Amino acid sequence: MIFSLTTLQMPLADFMFSIRESHVPGRIIVLLLFIGSIYAWTIMISKFSELSRARTATRRFLLAFRKEKEPTSVFVRRQKFPDSPLYEVYEKTCIALAGELETISGNPDELFMADFDRSRNQLSSHQLETLRNIADRLVSDENLLLENRMNILATAVTTAPFLGLLGTVWGVMSAFAGMAVVGTATLSAVAPGIAAALMTTVMGLLVALPSTVGHNLLIGQISQLQVETSNFLKEFMDKIRNSYLQGT
**Per-residue pLDDT tens for 121-179?**
577 888 889 999 999 999 999 999 999 999 999 999 999 999 988 888 887 777 776 66
- pTM higher than 0.75 for the full model? yes
Domain residue spans in the chain? 23-244
Please write down the HEC assignment for all residues of the chain. CHHHHHHHHHHHHHHHHHHHHCCHHHHHHHHHHHHHHHHHHHHHHHHHHHHHHHHHHHHHHHHHHHHCCCCCHHHHCCCCCCCCHHHHHHHHHHHHHHHHCCCCCCCHHHHHCCCCCHHHCCECHHHHHHHHHHHHHHHHHHHHHHCCCHHHHHHHHHHHHHHHHHHHHHHHHHHHHHHHHHCCCCHHHHHHHHHHHHHHHHHHHHHHHHHHHHHHHHHHHHHHHHHHHHHHHHHHHHHHHHHHECCC
**Per-residue pLDDT tens for 48-91?**
999 999 999 999 999 999 998 888 889 888 889 999 999 999 99
**How confident is the prediction for the chain on average, in pLDDT?**
81
